[in-house]
Structure 1
Amino acid sequence: MAYQSKGDDSSREDEKLSVDVKHVEHDPKVEDSDGELLAPERRALDEKHLVRMLDLRLLPTIVLVFIMNYIDRTAVTAARLKGLQSDLGLDDIQYSTVLAILYASYVPAQIPSNIILNRISRPSYYIPFCVVLWGLTSALTGEARNYAGILAARVFVGLPEAAFYPGAIYLLSRWYTRKELAFRSAILYGGLLVSNAFGSLIAAGVLAHMEGKRGIRAWRWLFYIEGAITICIGLLAIYLLPDYPHNTRWLSPAQRRLAQVRLAEDAGEADEDTPKESAFTGLVQALKDPKVPIFAVMACSQLLGLSFVNFFPTLTATLGFSTTISLLLAAPPWIFATIVCCANAWHADRTGERFFHINIWWWGVILGYIIGVTTMSVGGRYVAMFLMATGYSGFALTLVWVSNAIPRPPAKRSASIGIVNGFGNLGNLIGSYAWKAEWGPDYHPSMFIGIASLAFASFLALVIRYMLIRENKELESNELANLTGARRERIEEAARLEGLTFEEALERKKGFRYLY
């Protein structure tokens, strides 16, 4: 706050106080008025503090949940190594169906779940409720006694799990700007990659030491233990997750306004739906946008190419070691992939580039498959597994790219994320049958399928890149022409939040471009 000099001793003291105040670091615990956090001398410091709060509270929570999400989902692959398939009397086709059936509920539930998430005011209740539900169902999977029982358990694990990943990406997009989102999303996706490492380590410990305890097979203990951990984390998430920038309870009113202003500045429009933009209109807008179906097919193709993840313990077992050693060998490739994923996303945020930061890792997987096809040596195939694992560094940015390419309105963005991730996971469903036991131990046909799928995904990514380049050129040549309706309302709301005139907000809007 500045003080004006009036020519007397009192005014000189005021001037001195003004200088001192500007150099005192702000205490974020002190309640501020809306305008103070947006003042130029305070803005950078308080925005940095807000982002740090999110990084320390939102990110660790969703990463921890995501770790358990994939550990619970893929526990069946580790359990197979210790008798699940023989105990339940499953043949190879039935086992593949057990893997695939999860996606029968997981895929179609994602679109309505994300639409619900966009319409409700408290995602801090909705997401944790789904976490507790899938943790309970995962624990009950240990009670399966036959083929029908484990099929039912897998269906009801997939249904609440559908709420998490697309929902988490959407929640991140409501808090972070375009240049912040890729790195944070990669940290989230690092939870998946770490889960493959820690899931194998947990499984190795449980399967090695819990066999026969209290008369229960070790693979059943694996589901009980992992499910119970997930339930506890879900209950904790209720208190840690934020809601939306306008209604999060553990932020001050001024911080909530600052959070909204950041996103309005980022896209030149307020990150809010207008009264005329319902969940249904958002879905219709997403379906009409030609980029959305191309993104969806691209995601499906890449996940088919990356479907080895559901068989990774089986692949490491082909190296010829014991069950425990095979599970331990499955961890290092995923730890390495996590590091690569975060470094790649950090650079993607710095450069604003998307296509190459996604595709280069798919090409690495293709190289890994080529190595796997041409050699059966332990060293060569293990190197190939490292290359295969890093392919998920590309998938980690897929929904980020969707969010960047379809930023407004939020109803359309949430529906687009649900469509792309939901349809994309059909690739995992198909991939459940692409790694047949009779094709082992070399799995050459599976690797050829992966090469073709990733090559096709890369082609579709190139198509999207050129579509965004063309749209940017259109923005340059016809900037803000015929600006009416909902788009005008969002720019007006952005101007209100930032204390600008509508004309100033219009001028700032001209700087927006799609990231490709």
Structure 2
Amino acid sequence: MGRLEKSLSQDGGSEKAQPIVETASDAPQWTPEFEKKLVRKIDLYLMPIIWVMNVLSWMDRANLGNANIAGLTADLKLSSNQFSMAIITYYFGYIVWVPVSTVILARTRPSLFLPSIMALWGIVTASVGAMNTYPQLVVSRLLLGMLESGLTPGACYIFSNWYLPGEIGKRTSAFQTSAQLGGAFGGLIAGGVMSNLEGAQGIRGWRWLFIIEGVITVAVAIVAVFILPDYPTNSPRLNEEERFVATTRLLRVGILVDHEGSKPRLSVYETMVQSVRNWRAWCIATGSLFVSQSLILVYFYPVLVRGLGYTDPIKAQFMTVPIWVVSFVCTIASGFIGDRSPPRRGILVVGGLAVLCILAIVTTNVYDFKARYVFLAFMTAGAWVAFAQVMAFIAEVLSDLLPEVRAFTIGMMSCAATTGNVYGAYLFPAENAPKHILGFSMCAMSGGVSSMLFLVLYISEVRKRKRVREGLISGTS
């Protein structure tokens, strides 16, 4: 393994990885069939379990809304403001802890860290079924936000340590569909629990909902310990040859991967300093803040659809389904399109945000209900496409950073995105129905600003690749 360790060595104090350039005679060889088989094996271990984990994460964070209409507010004697504060407290915990979670993940084994925090948030979720006071509920939501903060940015970081630029887009898109479907699954489970377990064993249905979802979460966490891979250099799921190929193929395209003992670790302070001094980190974080603000639309689907003329509550619920379907199809399609030409993935991000911006502007000036419904569907799809491809895009943009710095920067992105969710919740007040000029105007602004930020980042990456090519050409001439 001497060649691998030689390739991995680098200046520990440097912010960026050194380019990996191997001669034809020195480069290790393997067949395309072997590599395809390896990628399928990685997918088998990583994608299904991380997808299920994210579904449960979204279910566990959203079940408070299901419990609310089933009697939680009345049983705990909560005011409207107290219930709103319980929801927002989740985001406070998430924002504060997410950078810490990503740094810890970069220094530990994902197969232990992610299942551990999942088991803990499952226990917290189940414990809500036994709570009787407002302070207990607030503390549980704070802990839930802190514990769940490690999953989404953690998944993005893990993808960046396993997949090539031409592979990662499909995986991030598939991962995002778990968020889209998590709400739907949560509603189905909530409906089943409320219908069949209300009053069972003297326990209210909403309490059973938390208990059951918490137990499911803990069970999946235990299974995940035995399935999740770690990193290409040390995964026990792969044999020595597979680890070598998994690592070397990343190094060949300039992606720095973890390798125990190959370099001195940065301190937490050094990691933070290198990240916050990088202008790309702030560009990514600010852009993500505005993208997530636009995605707040998903929480208002029923309200917005009712405002478009579907006043029957049941029909309004059903009319949200096509909007989710359009977003789902566009998100999956964007992954395949982005992976066909990874260097141009930034255009896909900018394009999705531009669609969001343009349709939001049009929606503020068009009041035909059917037209607005179509605009809403594709406006949201543009935001989902952008968000899914941003995960893949930044994995490529940050591939030349040290692993700890890359992880912290991804944490900054997730922190900013969650902040957008907090104030975005106030963009569609009921008194603005049915036009919701404020909300759609802010969506237009968010799409416009974020598209410009990611366009700047894309142009910077194009120039960087050009400099690398020119350097390689001059070095071989």
- Say if 2:66 is the partner of 1:78: yes
User: Please, which runs of 5 or more residues in structure 1 have no aligned partner?
Assistant: 1-37, 482-505, 511-516
Query: In the alignment, is residue 300 of structure 1 matched against residue 293 of structure 2?
Result: no
Q: 2:323 is matched with which residue?
A: 333
Letter of the 1:342 partner, please give it: I
Which sits farther off after the overlay, 272-281 or 168-177?
272-281
Written as runs of structure 1 = structure 2, the 5 A alignment for 1:423-438 is: 423-438=416-431
The C-alpha deviation readout for 1:425-474, integer Å capped at 9, x for no partner, is: 11012223333344445543222222222221112112212222333344
Match of 2:350 in 1: 359
Three-state SS of the structure 2 residue aligned to 1:142 is: helix
Say which is worse superposed, 130-139 or 234-243, in terms of deviation. Answer: 130-139
- Equivalent residue for 1:107? 95
Say if 2:193 is the partner of 1:188.
no
Partner of 1:134: 121
In 1, distance between residues paired with 2:203 and 2:317?
21
Q: What amino acid is aligned across from residue 291 of structure 1 in structure 2? A: R
Task: Note if contact 2:275-2:281 (Cα within 8 Å) is conserved in structure 1.
Answer: yes
The 1-side partners of 2:216 and 2:94 are apart by 21
Instruction: String of CA shifts for 1:115-152, please: whole Å, max 9, x gaps.
Output: 111112x2101100111111221222334434333222
Q: Please list the CA deviations of residues 326-364 of structure 1 after superposition, one character each: whole Å capped at 9, or x if unmatched.
A: 555444432432221111011101111122312333344
Deviation per CA, 1:218-237: give whole Å up to 9, x if none.
33333222222222111111
Contact 1:180 1:349 in 2 (8 A): yes
Alignment partners' CA distance in 1, 2:368 and 2:39 = 48
CA distance, structure 1, for counterparts of residue 142 and residue 45 of structure 2:
31
2:385 is the counterpart of 1:393: yes
Task: Indicate the larger mover: 458-467 or 357-366.
Answer: 357-366
Match 1:261 to one of 248, 254, 260: 248
Residue identity opposite 1:177 in structure 2: L
Q: What are the ranges of 5 or more consecutive residues in structure 2 without an aligned counterpart?
A: 1-26
Q: Tell me the residue number matched to 2:34.
A: 46
Give the structure 1 partner of residue 274 of structure 2.
285
Quick check: 1:194–1:335 contact (8 Å CA) kept in 2?
A: no
1:497 aligns to what?
none
| Mapped contact 1:197–1:334 kept (Cα < 8 A) | no
Tell me the amino acid that sits aligned with residue 144 of structure 2. V
CA deviation string 1:184-232 (max 9, x = no partner)? 1111111111213323333344345544444444333332222222221
Per-residue deviation at 1:164? 0.5
Contact 2:257–2:403, Cα closer than 8 Å, also in 1: no
Distance 2:404 2:38 in 1: 25
Identity %: 28
Bigger drift between 254-263 and 84-93 goes to: 84-93
**Aligned match of 1:471 in 441, 459, 464?**
464
Shift of 1:60: 0.5
Larger radius of gyration: 1
Q: Give the Cα separation in 1 of the matches to 2:283 and 2:199.
A: 50
Provide closer, same or farther for how the CA distance between residues 313 and 363 of structure 1 changes in structure 2, counting only shifts above 3 A. Answer: same
- Which of 252, 255, 258 is 2:239 aligned to? 252
Q: Cα RMSD (Å) of the superposition?
A: 2.9
TM-score, normalised relative to structure 2: 0.84
Q: Measure the CA separation in 1 of the matches of 2:113 and 2:357.
A: 39
Contact 2:289 2:419 in 1 (8 A): yes
**In 2 relative to 1, CA 328–241 (structure 1 residues): closer, same or farther, beyond 3 Å?**
farther
C-alpha distance in 2 between matches for 1:219 and 1:388: 34
Q: CA deviation at 1:96?
A: 3.2
| Amino acid in structure 2 at the alignment position of 1:386 | A
Number of residue pairs matched by the alignment: 444
TM-score (norm 1): 0.78
Shift of 1:261: 0.9
Please say if residues 100 and 430 of structure 1, whose CA atoms lie closer than 8 Å, have aligned partners that are also in contact: no
Does the Cα contact within 8 Å between 1:272 and 1:410 map onto a contact in 2? no
The list of structure 1 runs, each at least 4 consecutive aligned residues, that deviate by more than 6 angstroms after superposition, is: 375-378
Instruction: Report the equivalent of 2:56.
Output: 68
Higher relative CO (Cα under 8 Å, sequence separation at least 6) belongs to: 2
Give the aligned partner of residue 456 of structure 1. Answer: 449
CA contact (8 A) 2:347 2:458 kept: no
**1:158 match:** 145
Matches within 5 A, 1:164-175: 164-175=151-162
CA distance in structure 2 between the aligned counterparts of 1:382 and 1:84, rounded to whole angstroms: 33
Distance in 1 (alpha carbons) for counterparts of 2:367 and 2:122: 39
In structure 2, relative to structure 1, the CA distance for the partners of 1:437 and 1:231 (3 Å cut) is: farther
Which range is displaced more, 376-385 or 357-366?
376-385
- On the 8 A contact 1:115/1:279 being kept in 2, the answer is no
| Structure 2 residue aligned with 1:415 | 408
Cα distance change of structure 1 residues 124 and 452 upon mapping to structure 2, 3 Å threshold: same
